[in-house]
Structure 1
Amino acid sequence: LIMADVKTDDVNVRKTPRLAGEFIRGGIQRGTGDEFCYLVDDHAVARLMSVTGLGTDKLTTKTLTAENVNIDAYGISPDGTHLALLQTELDYSRDVFLWDRQNGKPAERLTTVNPQIDTWKLPTISRVKWKGAEGDEVEGILELPPDHKPGTLLPMVVCLHGGPTACDYYGFQFWIYGRTQLSTSGYAVFCPNYRGSTGYGDDFLTNLIGRENQIEVEDIMRGIDHLIAEQIADPERLGVMGWSNGGYLTNCLITHSDRFRAASSGAGMSDMTIQWSEGETPGHVVNYQRGLPWTSGDQYDRSSPLRQIQSTSFKTPLLLHAPGADTRVPPINSRALYRVARRYLNSPAELVTYPGAGHTLNSYQHRLAKMTWEQAWFDKYLKSSE
């Protein structure tokens, strides 16, 4: 049995408190018994769990992997005694481990795909918590430079994950969305798991419906305030970046506030009506806006950064990334904001297009271009003395 992105209620396991509100990402039966294994997003960790007794009154669940080990994928031997795990921790990324469940020993590491990581000075990765919108607890991941001294204020880039039904994990990540690259370049990197993220319960996820560009924005802004109060982030050197829904939230934040000195928005929505009419997933918009443009027009407007622009605040230097063949979030979204910034408000903006690229940048050249542009953009506006 294979499942993708289904909540626990959908597989009839609501009887156990251990599973309530967690987010199942895939499952497979172990061996010939009745044990069912699956991946769960649970408080910024991708755990491998199992359940026995499905369809009975004796439902039992347990976590199979260590506390802070993230499991990206797994496989099970035919007799169910061995598991192959693709896992990540704080100091390595996605290596294969073999776990013999019968001998009681930790999983054995079989690969070192990226041995160069062992020679790097890695960022310090931690979890942070704060009171978000409505006083609810919100969690995020904070990366600090390896040589950071406590009490030294840092330029900080807020990195916003996509989805929104996703999360940033408590583990090592070196990818094109900021983590490791920026933190080892002298920045604090803050990755909030804002309202709508997975792994924090069903209410935390569904509270975003009908409240986009509102409740999650408050979650994020309060997290920034928390790190300023903790004397980590320099309030005069704040940046924000994201891709997909993270790009959308970047657009939201810079039209809400003039606190950010630089922003990088990739493949992000700017107008919900445009997104509903042009994007390949109109149902996503309808669900989150609780209706169609002609029945929920006010909600569409409130959720659209393009319709919330105030010329007195929309001055953040803005780097926009637009994949040329993106059908998920069509590039017209980014082109519209670029036109506003450059033609009507005369604020700093650059539009980078990626010919032939879909919603995700897959080619090496495109990924390198994105990372190079962003490094230069944040260095110019957050580190330059000009």
Structure 2
Amino acid sequence: MPTPKTAVVMVLVVSCALFVESQTKPKLTLDEFFSSVSFSAVELSPDGNSVVIGTERADWDQQIFRTDLWLYRDDDKGSSLIQLTQSGHDSDPKWSPDGRWIAFLSERKTTSQKSDDSDGDKKDEGVSQIYLISPSGGEAFAVTQGEEEVHSFSWSADSQTLYFATRNPWTKAQKDDYKKEWKDAVQYRTAERGDTIFALDLATALARHAAPSKEKSEADKESDLTPGTRVVATSPLRVEGLITSPDGTKLAFVSSAINQRQEKYDDYEIYAVDLANVARAPSPANPRRLTHNQADEGKLRWANDSHHVLFSVQVGDVTGPYRDLQPHLYSVDAESGAVEQWSKDFIGPIEHYALAGDTVVTSARLGTEVQMYSVSKPSGSLHQVSNWQGTYEGVSSSSHSPRVAFVYTSVTKPAEVYLAENSTKLDQARPITSFNKLFTERELPQGKPYQWKADDGSTVEGMLIYPPGKFEAKHLPMFTLIHGGPADADGNHFEADWYQWAALAATNGWLVFEPNYRGSTGYGDKFLLQIVPVIVSRPGKDILEGVDALVKDGIADPDHLAVGGYSYGGYMTNWLITQTTRFKVAVTGAGAVEHVGNWGNDDTTFDDAYFLGGRPWEAPQRYHDQAAIFQIDKVRTPTHMVAGADDIRVAVLEDYLLEHALYSLGIPNKLLVFPGEGHGLGKNPWHGKIKVREELKWLQKYGGVPAGN
């Protein structure tokens, strides 16, 4: 046992070592921050010995976000990670049930498409088609063709057939007739057409790939039909989330609006197709509707009994009139249509889930933590099976192995893919990627949850992300960074992108406050529902009361307060600068300042009317009272704005309106509009980088905080 003197020396040595380590690690730079790799897919092979991983990263030269596939192997020869595809346009990998093939979607251009280009498009992007590649090696090859993109696909249970859905294809004659009559005019709604589900036998696809290439006729070149396919079913709506039952007798899918706008509840339902009936019928099958509700279902998976379809709901409610709840897990009986919610006693949202035999393995949120749980029956309670504090996501399991793959991250640990031997040994999982190793070599900010009391006595929580080397320091300049959604939450995870850039703001000297205001997930449906019908004023109170509490506790410097956010975070920023002048500077993006025009433009109008208690003519006073534009004369805060030129969800006109108002009032402001971008800045990585670069400059200029780098 060491003596007290020896113990003191040991403590000093350890402390000095930690200090030296922190001093030797450089801080993150802007360029490094935007070099992060995110994971779009994690798919465990049927035998559990391989994992296909989808990655997304910036390609600065091509000015695109590359989406590539990687293959991790773990067998008798050892473990390895190799790049499986390199086109930069590959996603949504699916193993064949026998493990011999990997099918995926790719937007790479074919040789004929490249030769037809007249604009020299260097981004090399085509129409999404199905490709096959062997995990044993070889080049990927297309098995579908045409101008119609594949919306969804699924393997048959015996691995011998690919089912896929596209918009109802037209012949060359139909295309020519339409172009002759309408030229480039857009027939909004009236020209829409639904989807067809096709079947393509694997043997046919392989034979066509192996056959010598022949010069196609003009009719064949213009045809959107893949040779050798047969029609399984048709739908007047778009087909998504196509899945095949384990016994191979049924398909299931979720429908959605053809124009991708949430306007009618009936557009979003789960359907089944009985494949036995298809084989006997002289004409394509009419899918059988399973659900009848006011909810947007998604993330479909067949249960092992081939009798129930599991799903989650992103917006809406399966039990009655429309209301926005947290994402819960449900199952529907494929015969009776009876719907049952799983683990009703769990108050948080189900983020991701996978099936391991008869057990559901899921990642689910409680407050600022997203942990892994398991449950074996709908009436059962979720049982926590993870031990690491942080965020688990992208869960994948195998049909013939107990292994589980997942993505894990925390505030001080960048995201990587991990592999565990089974769901009871997650704390022994090993990382199988190291794409974000650079971040482990930098001095990262530390963070912790923070709670305060709202004016109505409710407890509200958020995250505090401290500047590197200043964990739990006092009297810090504070940047309130508001998450979007609003049905989302900030927590114990590391993010590095244009939308979630708290780590970079903290590195530049700011204490970042991320409030999970009323309307956020992870605190129960009641907490989330309290945003209705006070869409900005109730969350606004929560946020300002959090700022007050941090100032009172001596954590935040009241003379150096900033605010910002994107999407719904932009809504809230626009509102808050009309409610107080305490913020010295604001950065906002893709946020509305009024609700009437936004209701008309938005592609998610379900929740617009719901949050405000009706459509514009049904609740005109509330549309007025909850809009920043009618109080904009109170603003004194220098405000930086960004927007995507092609944004439908929050039209760029909202940003022009805010800019014009601030300009007319003489308030310092700046607006950046990014061409070709929608609501998310996912087209050109330079846009997101420029956004954050300029926002940091704006914070420094008006917030009075010296640049961190």
**TM-score (ref. length: structure 1):** 0.92
Whole-Å separation in 2 of the counterparts to 1:318 and 1:168: 23
The equivalent of 2:593 in structure 1 is 270
Which letter maps to 1:266?
G
Whole-Å separation in 1 of the counterparts to 2:461 and 2:419: 31
Q: Would the aligned equivalents of 1:125 and 1:171 in 2 still touch at CA under 8 Å?
A: no
Whole-Å separation in 1 of the counterparts to 2:372 and 2:670: 42
Equivalent in 353, 357, 360 of residue 27 of structure 1 = 353
Which letter maps to 1:3?
S
Q: Does 1:249 align with 2:249?
A: no
Q: Secondary structure at the match of 2:504?
A: coil
Whole-Å separation in 2 of the counterparts to 1:136 and 1:262: 29
Shift of 1:82: 0.6
Q: Does 1:319 align with 2:640?
A: yes
Q: Secondary structure at the match of 1:3?
A: strand
Trace 1:276-295 onto structure 2 (pairs within 5 A): 276-295=599-618
The equivalent of 1:68 in structure 2 is 389
Trace 1:168-247 onto structure 2 (pairs within 5 A): 168-176=490-498, 177-247=500-570
Q: Does 1:101 align with 2:422?
A: yes
Shift of 1:13: 3.9
Equivalent in 455, 458, 466 of residue 136 of structure 1 = 458
Residue 300 to residue 158, structure 1, CA distance change in 2 (3 Å)? same
Shift of 1:16: 4.9
Q: Does 1:112 align with 2:421?
A: no
The equivalent of 2:307 in structure 1 is none
Residue 286 to residue 111, structure 1, CA distance change in 2 (3 Å)? same
Shift of 1:102: 7.5
Shift of 1:161: 0.4
Shift of 1:4: 4.8
Which letter maps to 2:544?
M
Which letter maps to 1:66?
N
Shift of 1:269: 1.0
Shift of 1:384: 5.8
Q: Would the aligned equivalents of 2:519 and 2:527 in 1 still touch at CA under 8 Å?
A: yes
Residues 171-180 or 236-245, more deviating: 171-180
Which letter maps to 1:99?
A
Shift of 1:271: 0.4
Q: How far does the alpha carbon of each residue in 1:259-295 deviate from its partner, in whole angstroms, 9 at most, with x for none?
A: 1111011000110111012222222210101101111
Whole-Å separation in 2 of the counterparts to 1:323 and 1:297: 28
Whole-Å separation in 2 of the counterparts to 1:245 and 1:222: 19
Q: Secondary structure at the match of 1:135?
A: coil
Q: Would the aligned equivalents of 1:133 and 1:216 in 2 still touch at CA under 8 Å?
A: no
Q: Does 1:3 align with 2:3?
A: no
Q: Would the aligned equivalents of 2:362 and 2:373 in 1 still touch at CA under 8 Å?
A: yes
The equivalent of 1:146 in structure 2 is 468
Q: Secondary structure at the match of 2:545?
A: helix
Residue 15 to residue 169, structure 1, CA distance change in 2 (3 Å)? closer
Residue 154 to residue 9, structure 1, CA distance change in 2 (3 Å)? same
Residue 241 to residue 270, structure 1, CA distance change in 2 (3 Å)? same
Q: Would the aligned equivalents of 1:322 and 1:354 in 2 still touch at CA under 8 Å?
A: yes
Trace 1:159-170 onto structure 2 (pairs within 5 A): 159-170=481-492
Whole-Å separation in 2 of the counterparts to 1:7 and 1:319: 33
Shift of 1:327: 0.5
Q: Would the aligned equivalents of 1:213 and 1:302 in 2 still touch at CA under 8 Å?
A: no
Equivalent in 85, 88, 109 of residue 406 of structure 2 = 85
Pairwise CA RMSD: 1.9
Whole-Å separation in 1 of the counterparts to 2:423 and 2:589: 47
Q: Secondary structure at the match of 1:224?
A: helix
The equivalent of 2:363 in structure 1 is 39
Equivalent in 329, 333, 336 of residue 657 of structure 2 = 336
Whole-Å separation in 1 of the counterparts to 2:365 and 2:353: 13
Q: Which runs of 5+ in 1 are unaligned?
A: none
Residue 283 to residue 110, structure 1, CA distance change in 2 (3 Å)? same
Give the structure with the higher percent strand: 2
Q: Would the aligned equivalents of 1:159 and 1:191 in 2 still touch at CA under 8 Å?
A: yes
Q: Does 1:364 align with 2:685?
A: yes
Residue 292 to residue 315, structure 1, CA distance change in 2 (3 Å)? same
Residues 325-334 or 39-48, more deviating: 39-48
Whole-Å separation in 1 of the counterparts to 2:411 and 2:428: 17
Q: How far does the alpha carbon of each residue in 1:136-170 deviate from its partner, in whole angstroms, 9 at most, with x for none?
A: 00110101112227554221110000000011121
Whole-Å separation in 2 of the counterparts to 1:183 and 1:15: 38
Residue 353 to residue 298, structure 1, CA distance change in 2 (3 Å)? same
Whole-Å separation in 1 of the counterparts to 2:537 and 2:415: 35
The equivalent of 1:49 in structure 2 is 373
Q: Would the aligned equivalents of 1:301 and 1:307 in 2 still touch at CA under 8 Å?
A: yes
Whole-Å separation in 2 of the counterparts to 1:117 and 1:244: 27
Residue 154 to residue 137, structure 1, CA distance change in 2 (3 Å)? same
Whole-Å separation in 1 of the counterparts to 2:569 and 2:668: 21
**TM-score (ref. length: structure 2):** 0.51
Residues 249-258 or 169-178, more deviating: 169-178
* Structure possessing the higher relative contact order (Cα contacts under 8 Å, 6 or more residues apart): 1
Whole-Å separation in 2 of the counterparts to 1:102 and 1:251: 44
Shift of 1:8: 3.4
Aligned pair count reads 375
Whole-Å separation in 1 of the counterparts to 2:695 and 2:423: 48
Equivalent in 351, 357, 362 of residue 671 of structure 2 = 351
Whole-Å separation in 2 of the counterparts to 1:170 and 1:149: 15
Whole-Å separation in 1 of the counterparts to 2:483 and 2:472: 27
Residue 342 to residue 208, structure 1, CA distance change in 2 (3 Å)? same
The equivalent of 1:125 in structure 2 is 447
Whole-Å separation in 1 of the counterparts to 2:539 and 2:626: 11
Q: How far does the alpha carbon of each residue in 1:310-332 deviate from its partner, in whole angstroms, 9 at most, with x for none?
A: x2x30100101111000011011
Whole-Å separation in 2 of the counterparts to 1:65 and 1:103: 8
Q: Which runs of 5+ in 2 are unaligned?
A: 1-300, 302-310, 315-325, 332-339
Which letter maps to 1:215?
R
Equivalent in 456, 474, 477 of residue 155 of structure 1 = 477
Give the structure with the higher percent helix: 1
Q: Would the aligned equivalents of 1:301 and 1:308 in 2 still touch at CA under 8 Å?
A: no
Identity of aligned residues (%): 28
Q: Would the aligned equivalents of 1:279 and 1:328 in 2 still touch at CA under 8 Å?
A: yes
Which letter maps to 2:678?
G
